[in-house]
Amino acid sequence: MNEPIPQLPSYDEASLDNAFATLAEEARTTDTTDPEAFRLHWLGRKQGRLKLITEAWLKSAPPEAKKALGIRFNQLKQQIEAALDAPAAKPTTAVQGIDITLPGTLRAPGIPHPLLKTMHEIVSVFHHLGYSTNLGPQVESDFYNFEALNFPENHPARDTQDTLVIANQQSRPSRDRLLMRTHTSPVQIRTMIAQAPPIRIVIPGKVHRNDAADATHSPIFHQIEGLCVDTNITFSDLKGTLDHAMKALFGSDVKTRFFPSFFPFTEPSADVQISCIFCGGKGCRKCKHSGWIELLGCGMVDPAVFAAVTAERRKINPSDDAYNPEKITGFAFGMGVERIAMMLHGVSDIGHFYSGDMRFLEQFA
């Protein structure tokens, strides 16, 4: 139990200084090796020294002495709290030595994601053919994503069932309304508006469509498109380019074939198939016993696309004629990165690429 606080002989400055100096010396010499005991001795709610000082001196002091008493009381309290915060007043823990015989922490090196790895492999093939890489925004306007690419106003792809649109765009002109790009083709338009022929580019990137997720579909996926525009570009150039690219990706024994198709931005258009890399073209379950796997789409750039580009370029230079379809031609192609990655690595569910499951991803280390 704490000793009682003696009564003050007087409330003059000298008496107060002397009384609080005695208490300060007592606080300074109190053992702090047990912080909890020290705290209870001075700051305990019932029998702490400061509580007793309040009862004995502050409550019975005349009004004119309360200010001087309060100042000295707060100084004493700050001294006690500082002693509690001092390192000597804090409990110490034993510091264990380092056992150098234990194995060290192993930091596994990072690896490229299989989708990025596949994307880089595809882009590298076209870099060796003299193509450069261009990129663009994922949030696009209707003009770049649809209008300039010759999509009619009532085309199903423009419907919200197929395309993810940005909210509150109704007040804007239709060509300026924003959406999540459904393909990387808008970068083709942006490049042609900014640059005169010749152009040879590949465009890797993420695209978005309003698709339900299943084993072969995802609302977010990746594409690589290509564009070549110059004088005297023919369909034979397109076939030779893609045949070389497929052989570089899947092996020199792979064959390619082209079937007529339709895309609003190319004419003529074609779907490209490669001989099945699993059965060598003999027919198996993965190629539905046909011996062929459809892989990408392509075609010659439609003159209507060149006309849209020319109209935009003439806003800056009225006499611009760089994309006159009577002088230049071009071809374009596009492929899904996930589809190729699934074929190369034998993955059956596209969702594995986005699951973040390290057991799956570590297979590609």
**C-alpha–C-alpha distance, residues 142 and 129, integer Å:** 32
Flag whether 106 is in a domain: no
286, 141: one domain:
yes
Which of 72, 89, 106 terminates a domain? The answer is 89
222 three-class SS: strand
**Amino acid letter, 86:** A
- Residues 204, 84 share a domain: no
The reply to whether 36 sits in an annotated binding site is no
- Per-residue pLDDT tens digits for 42-64: 788 877 888 888 888 888 888 88
- Whether residue 6 lies inside any domain: the answer is no
Is residue 68 a part of any domain in this protein?
yes
Within a domain: 5: no
pLDDT at 90: 52
Same domain, 257 and 350: yes
Q: In terms of domains, do 185 and 42 share one?
A: no
Q: What is the pLDDT of residue 96?
A: 64
pLDDT at 169 over 70: yes
Q: Is the pLDDT score of 12 beyond 90?
A: no
Instruction: Report which of residues 56 and 222 the model is more confident about.
Output: 222
Per-residue model confidence as pLDDT tens digits over 76-121 = 888 888 888 776 555 555 556 777 888 877 777 778 899 999 999 9
- If asked whether residues 76 and 118 sit together in one domain, one would say no
Beta-carbon neighbour count of residue 29 at 10 Å?
Answer: 8
Same domain membership, residue 212 and residue 274: yes
Q: Which of 27-41, 107-121, 138-152 has the highest mean predicted lDDT (pLDDT)?
A: 138-152
Same domain, 20 and 154: no
- Domain holding 204, by residue range, is 114-364
In a domain, 327, yes or no: yes
Based on the fold, state whether residues 307 and 272 are members of the same structural domain. Answer: yes
Residue 3 lies in a domain: no
Helix (H) or strand (E) holding 203: strand 199-208
For residue 266, being part of any structural domain is answered with yes
Q: What is the pLDDT of residue 216?
A: 83
Q: How many domains does the chain have?
A: 2
Q: Tell me what pLDDT residue 36 has.
A: 83
Whole-number pLDDT of residue 50: 83
Query: Looking at the structure, do residues 35 and 150 belong to the same domain, yes or no?
Result: no
Confidence of residue 65 (pLDDT cuts 50, 70, 90): confident
Q: What is the pLDDT of residue 111?
A: 82
Dump pLDDT digits (tens) for 309-342.
999 999 999 999 999 999 999 999 999 999 999 9
* Torsion 20-21-26-32 (CA) sign: positive
**Same domain? 231 vs 335:** yes
User: pLDDT at residue 66 above 90?
Assistant: no
CATH number, position 360 = 3.30.930.10
Residue 54 and residue 129 share a domain: no
| For the chain, percent of residues with pLDDT exceeding 70 | 97
Helices (H), the chain: 13-29, 35-43, 49-53, 63-85, 114-127, 142-145, 186-194, 235-250, 303-313, 337-345, 358-361
> Does the pTM of the predicted model rise above 0.75?
no
- Considering the domain architecture, whether residues 83 and 120 belong to the same structural domain is answered as no
At 88 the pLDDT is 54
147 phi, psi to nearest 5 deg: -60, -50
Interval 235-288: pLDDT, tens: 999 999 999 999 999 999 999 999 999 999 999 999 999 999 988 888 888 888
Closest CA to 115 of 213, 204, 217, 201: 204
Q: Closest Cα to residue 177, out of 185, 189, 169?
A: 169
Residue 94 falls inside a structural domain? no
Pairing outcome for strands 266-275 and 292-301: antiparallel
